[in-house]
Amino acid sequence: MDNKTLSIVSYITIIGWLIAYVMGKEKMDSLLRYHLKQSLGLGLVSLAFSISLNIVASIVPALSFLGIIGYAIIVLWVIGIINAANGEMKPIPFIGKAFEDKFSFIG
């Protein structure tokens, strides 16, 4: 697979991220490195949001409607895939800038 395809695959769950990281490790370019960082950051934000929402909803069941905010994460995920498919190194809106200089193990 080429780096553009691996960039797209990196957004598809943690298994896709691992596949993109392992397969692209030898021939990693700046596009793949950038999208690996963005998708890992988005995955971590999604996980933290899910855990915190479950805690809040178990304490105050009336606030379980906040789960609708999860759709915003899906929209950010789609934006990341579109950016990777177009070969652009644009950050994911709202949270992407925070992950541009993180995760130094990626490269």
Instruction: Tell me if the pTM is above 0.85.
Output: yes
Residue 33 has pLDDT above 90, yes or no: yes
Average pLDDT, the chain: 92
Helix axes 30-59, 70-85, angle to 10 degrees: 170
Consecutive H or E run containing 38: helix 30-59
Residue 71 has pLDDT above 80, yes or no: yes
Give the separation between CA 45 and CA 57, rounded to whole angstroms: 18
Give the separation between CA 16 and CA 14, rounded to whole angstroms: 5
DSSP state of 92: P
Q: What is the pLDDT of residue 83?
A: 96
Give the separation between CA 87 and CA 65, rounded to whole angstroms: 36
Sign of CA dihedral 9, 11, 15, 18: positive
Q: Where are the domains of the chain?
A: 3-99
